[in-house]
């Protein structure tokens, strides 16, 4: 059913109050086709979990909410299993399903907000794992032709928080399902110090994938705000990759600058560290600000306008460039 003038606050984790001119949900390709046929020339916006978006104004178009759910085993051997999930499934629910069934590979990605369909678009990652590491393929609806196309790992052109759907094919497809390859003979990844510390505190020396998942949930819960309580979209900025000369210049003024190897001979800096050093961490402006425990996270404490949060992000970007010679890039989509 198509609704008019719908408040989108429940459909974005920032909790921004904006209205959509028209709104409808779909749970199948046939429903999606019927709705697109009724767009009447309106711009289209597809929403899943609404976890990677900042609305700065009302949307004068047609919002379609993806509710394509269902998880099924496609193929299984003694050592691995392939699972297909509807794009509308909540990502964390999918992770818990895998962990509960002893299917390994996504446990390090526990408690990341959003939907399954958004995971390959963003190539989400955390604690040493990215979607591309467990991804097999996805099916997507081509909006213009109405055809279903399949994309394998190579076709998705995954990069750091990137895929072809954020660049060349942006706004051309609607992801309907994603297939993952998971393990039954697990390779535990606890290489990140925070996980090792959490396991040690619990006295766990031989962790299971459930132990890893629980550790990640505990870590994320301790330092990241729950969108159900404080509006946010997780990490607002990407970690920048810079030339080594930029790092060396920063090191002349700061000791122990966090940095990691990056492609093409560059180094990746921690955006949160840069923002914290610049004094933004914990800053509050009436009903919005920078989270007190994680400088990467911008927050909406009440009924803040999205434009104010956007302006805050601009001020941070300009300040970081002035202080460090590094240009931060927003990870969140701006509408």
Active site residue 137: no
Catalytic pick from 22, 161, 220, 330? 161
pLDDT at 223: 84
Tell me the per-residue pLDDT of 136-160, one tens digit each, with 9 for 90 and over: 999 999 999 999 999 999 999 998 8
Catalytic pick from 177, 213, 235, 313? 235
- pLDDT exceeds cutoff 80 at 193: no
Element (H, E) at 333: strand 333-334
Q: How confident is the model at residue 131 (pLDDT cuts 50, 70, 90)?
A: very high
pLDDT at 10: 93
Whether the Cβ atoms of residue 27 and residue 33 lie closer than 8 Å to each other: no
pTM of the predicted structure, to 2 decimals: 0.87
Active site residue 201: no
pLDDT at 88: 94
Cα–chain-centroid distance for residue 168?
Answer: 19
Structural domains of the chain, ranges and CATH numbers in brackets:
3-66 (3.30.43.10), 71-183 (3.30.465.10), 231-334 (3.90.78.10)
Q: How confident is the model at residue 226 (pLDDT cuts 50, 70, 90)?
A: confident
Whether the Cβ atoms of residue 161 and residue 331 lie closer than 8 Å to each other: yes
CA–CA distance, 39 with 62 (Å, rounded to integer): 7
CA–CA distance, 331 with 111 (Å, rounded to integer): 18
Tell me the per-residue pLDDT of 60-71, one tens digit each, with 9 for 90 and over: 999 999 999 999
Active site residue 331: yes
Tell me the per-residue pLDDT of 47-62, one tens digit each, with 9 for 90 and over: 988 888 999 999 999 9
């Amino acid at each position: 059913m198509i609704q008019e003038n719908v408040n989108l606050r429940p459909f974005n984790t920032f909790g921004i109050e904006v209205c959509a001119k028209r709104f409808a949900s779909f749970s199948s390709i046939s429903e999606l086709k019927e709705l697109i046929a009724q767009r009447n020339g309106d711009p289209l916006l597809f929403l899943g979990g609404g976890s990677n978006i900042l609305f700065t104004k009302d949307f004068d178009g047609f919002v379609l909410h993806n509710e394509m759910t269902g998880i099924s085993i496609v193929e299984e051997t003694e050592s691995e299993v392939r699972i297909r999930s509807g794009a509308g499934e909540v990502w964390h629910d999918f992770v818990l399903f895998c962990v509960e069934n002893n299917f390994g590979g996504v446990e390090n990605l526990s408690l990341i907000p959003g939907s399954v369909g958004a995971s390959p678009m963003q190539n989400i990652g955390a604690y040493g794992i990215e979607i591309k590491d467990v991804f097999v393929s996805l099916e997507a609806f081509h909006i213009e032709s109405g055809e279903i196309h399949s994309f394998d790992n190579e076709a998705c052109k995954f990069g750091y928080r990137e895929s072809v759907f954020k660049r060349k094919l942006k706004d051309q497809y609607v992801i309907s399902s994603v297939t993952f390859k998971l393990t039954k003979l697990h390779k535990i990844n606890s290489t990140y110090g925070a996980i090792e510390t959490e396991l040690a505190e619990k006295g766990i020396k031989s962790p299971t994938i459930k132990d890893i998942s629980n550790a990640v949930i505990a870590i994320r819960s301790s330092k990241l705000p729950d969108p159900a309580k404080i509006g946010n979209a997780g990490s607002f900025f990407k970690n920048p990759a810079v030339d080594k000369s930029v790092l060396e210049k920063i090191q002349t003024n700061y000791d122990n600058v966090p940095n990691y190897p990056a492609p093409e001979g560059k180094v990746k800096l921690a955006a949160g560290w840069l923002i914290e050093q610049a004094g933004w961490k914990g800053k509050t402006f009436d009903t919005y600000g920078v989270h007190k425990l994680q400088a990467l996270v911008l927050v909406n404490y009440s009924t803040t306008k999205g434009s104010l949060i956007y302006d805050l992000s601009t001020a941070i970007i300009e300040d970081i460039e002035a202080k460090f010679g590094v240009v931060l890039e927003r990870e969140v989509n701006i509408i």
